[in-house]
Structure 1
C-alpha cells in the first residue's frame, strides 16, 4: 500500500516562539492509526523564532536524527556535548537508557527550521552522538549516519531532470524538505510524505530543484 500525507494535514503544535508540524502522534496529538511506521515514531518539522527553543528535556530508547534546513541550531546534552549545527550536517543522538538535551535557535535575528526524526532504538548502552557532513549530489542517494534501528537514511537532491532508484526494502518513507519531488508516481511538495510498504524499488525524480529525506526500513 502507498499513502500520501500532505504537509497541511499534519498535526500542529504552536508554542512560545515555536511552531511544529508532526507526521505521527506526538505530545498532545494522538491518532491510534498513526503512531509509527516501522521503527519510525516521529518526524517533526520545527520552526523556531530567533532566540527561541526547547529547554532541557529527556528522551530514552530512541534514535534522534536532526537535519537543519535554515539557520543554526544550538545543541547541548547531558553527555557534555555542546555546539552548533547548520545546513548540510546531519546529527544522530542515540539516547540509550536516557539523555537530556537542549535545543535553541542560535541566532537572535534569524529564524531556524529543522527536521527532527525519531526511531525506536536497539541501543541500550551509554548515549552516543555523531555529526556528519552530507554533500548533496543531484540524482544520487547520499548515505548518511548509521542508526541503532532497522533503517537507513539517505538524502536525495535534484536540480531538474534527474531520476533515481531507491533499492527494495520492507518499507519506504519519503519526506520532501524543499521543492517538488515525484515519488512512486506521486507528486510531493515541501512537507509532504509518501509511505509505502510494497517492498519493491521506488523511483524518485525532480523536474526542478528539490530535496527529500528517504528512509528504507526493514522493521
Structure 2
C-alpha cells in the first residue's frame, strides 16, 4: 500500500516565530502512537525565526533525530551536551528515562536568517534507557549523490558511520540528488519518504514536490529520480506498533 500526503495537506501549527508542518499531528495533546506509521511518531519540518527557539523542556522515551536543512541550530541539554548543528550533520538524542534540553535558531534577531529543520521521533524498543547524545557529519558522503544511512539501529548498519538509535528495526536514509540522479529506496514493511527539497519522480507514484510525503506498507524497493535536484529523507522500518 502506498499513501501520498501532499505538502499542503500536512498538519500545520504556527505562532509568532515558528511554522511547523507535520507528517503526524504532534503539537498539542495528541496520541502519538495512534497516529504513527511504523515506529515513526513525529516528523516535523519547522521554520524558526532568527533569535527564537524553545526554552528548556523535557522529553522521555523517544529517539529524537534532527536534520538541519537551512541555517544553524543551537542545542544544549541536561546531560551536558551542547553546540550547534548545520546542514549535513545528523543529531540523535536518546531521551530515555528523561532529559531536558533547549534548542533554537543560533543566529541573532539582527541577522534575520531563519532556521529550517526536520525533527523526527522514533520509538525506542525499551523504556527508561540512559539518556544519550550523538552526532556525525555526512556532508562529504552526501556530496557523492547516493543514498546514505545517517541513523540506524539495524544490525547490518552497526559498522557504518550512522549514528545509533535504540531500535534495531529502523534506519534513516538521506540523499542529495542532482538533476536526473536516481536513488533506490530499500524495500521495507513500513517506509516514510519525505521530499525535503526540490522535486522527484517516483516509480509507480509520479511527481512529488517539496513538502510531499509518502507512507508505504509492505512495498518493494522504490526508485526515486530527481527533477532539477532534490533532497530526500527516507525511514526504513521493519516493525510497527500493535493496534
Q: Does TM, scored on the shorter chain, surpass 0.5?
A: yes
The TM-score range, normalised by the shorter chain, is over 0.9
Structure 1 residue 41 corresponds to structure 2 residue 41 = yes
Q: Output one character per residue of 1:44-87: Cα deviation in whole Å (capped at 9) or x when no partner.
A: 11111110110111111111010001110000111111100011
SS at match of 1:93: strand
Deviates more, 1:178-187 or 1:194-203: 178-187
Q: Distance in 2 between matches of 1:118 and 1:208?
A: 30
Q: Which residue of 189, 192, 198 maps to 1:170?
A: 189
Unpaired segments ≥5 residues, structure 2: 153-164
Q: Distance in 1 between matches of 2:218 and 2:125?
A: 25
SS at match of 2:228: coil
Measured at CA, do residues 154 and 33 of structure 1 come closer, stay the same or move farther in structure 2, by a change above 3 Å?
closer
SS at match of 1:180: strand
Unpaired segments ≥5 residues, structure 1: none
Structure 1 residue 196 corresponds to structure 2 residue 199 = no
- TM normalised by structure 2 equals 0.85
Q: Which residue of 130, 142, 145 maps to 2:151?
A: 145
Query: 2:170, 2:238 within 8 Å by CA — same for their partners in 1?
Result: yes
Q: Output one character per residue of 1:122-157: Cα deviation in whole Å (capped at 9) or x when no partner.
A: 253211111111131454211112221221111122
Q: Distance in 1 between matches of 2:122 and 2:53?
A: 22
Paired residues, number: 219
SS at match of 1:207: strand
- TM normalised by structure 1 equals 0.94
1:198: Cα distance to partner?
2.6
Which structure shows the bigger proportion of residues in helix conformation? 2
Query: 1:11, 1:29 within 8 Å by CA — same for their partners in 2?
Result: no
Aligned counterparts, 1:50-65, within 5 A? 50-65=50-65
Find runs of 4+ consecutive structure 1 residues off by over 4 angstroms.
29-34
Q: Aligned-pair RMSD on alpha carbons?
A: 1.8
